[in-house]
Structure 1
Amino acid sequence: MSDKPKTIKVAALADLHVKDTPEESYRDLFKEISGTADVLVLAGDLTDLGKPKQAEHLAADLAACSIPVVAVLGNHDYEGGEEDRLVAILEAAKVHLLDGRHVEIEGVGFVGVKGFAGGFGRFMLSSFGEPAIKAMVAEGIDQAMRLENAMRQVRADRAVVVLHYAPIVETVAGEPPEIYPFLGSSRLAETIDRFEVSAVVHGHAHRGAYQGRTPKGAPVYNVAAHIEKPTGRPYALLEI
């Protein structure tokens, strides 16, 4: 008998931006995904303005999803200052919301944080100067540390990292270069590369590129709904 673990299919999608009066229902899409994948991952910006009503609309659509759902919040989900209510609504809908935590599903550890801005490589913002700049850098470092602490708890042989902000510059290419520092941070990739990671998914960069790799080779996928994907659908389908 082979000891090779079962391959699972992960559907990954970000930036739904559900509004007060939804322009479209995601019920049919979630039904489709349920027949195609083993796990659905939502990589942030679940709502447009972080309003509980928007989260309720999403929760209602997720009732059509018959597979486990894993998610992180994005920057838009914090806009209304009611992120705790959003979390409560979505967790009541049986969504595994990750914020420096992990969950194991079918032998794969899913680890997630929102991430934060800060820039990439030698252009990454440093903690120098005004308190506001230092606070911004400190937030990015905190997100990276939360990710590292969660990764250290994973016992599964395979791990998928779920972010909203990008960990590498390759998957934001296509956006205006002037806003690259606000789309992610290499600090996230530095943390990821301390571990064996099967895949990384993120959103946020609506006009970015679909695929890249961390410096040590972990595959990274920009799964924003607006990005063209090999499936020809709004979601990516990854075999883990």
Structure 2
Amino acid sequence: MKLEIAVVSAEGAGIAATEGADRIELCSSLELGGITPSQGLMDAAAEQVADRLEIHPLIRCRPGDFIYSAAELDTMGREAQHLLRQGAHGVVFGALRPGGEINVPAIRRLVECARNANPSAQLTFHRAIDQTPNAETALDVLIGLGITRVLSSGQAASAGAGLKTLARMARFSAGRVQIMAGGGLRIQDIPSMKRSGMDAVHLSAKKTVSTLPPGSTPTGDRDGTDPTEYQVTDAEAVRAARTAGNS
């Protein structure tokens, strides 16, 4: 079973590679659910991993919903092409209609943009599928559009809670599209994901760090919270996830 780690820095990419991840979802602003990484970050991450794993940038031009305007889709198509031409192995995206159904014209356009840049690019449809009315119907649509894999929590608040649906999705897909479990995934959930037929698991494996001196009182404009804290990839968490996936 493959292990994918969501990372937001070149250093995080290097940690994921060192600790045995198979690929990374490269993004920025993970605290907002992730948005498209810069081309500079793509270059730096590629240098850090040195072909030790695959890099799959997230293509998401803004936080919020997955209902995009024509201009937003144009931006996302351009981002996908630029990042793939820089050497990304695939891209991660999703788009919905107002009722929650897959936006077929939008996905077809993004697929075409990606394939034009790299005909062998892997295409991942992200957790937008968890907002669709019916997972099996959505899978059929995505298979028809040439999607490589789907990231899902089983339409639940966390992948652990959505395990039964994820297992049903894996049976329904029957190898036509890969099912990757992610979203609130705990390391202790990984063995059950493997037993249930998941092709991969996805997690951020992050920890919060701070440069505030011990005992100091936080100041600033964030309601008394620490203004210096930020999240980084946790090597121990990646290592534990790799071990769990190998068990």
TM-score, length-scaled by structure 2: 0.47
TM-score, length-scaled by structure 1: 0.49
Larger RCO: 1 or 2 (CA < 8 Å, sep 6+): 1
Q: Which structure is higher in helix share?
A: 2
* Greater Rg by CA: 2
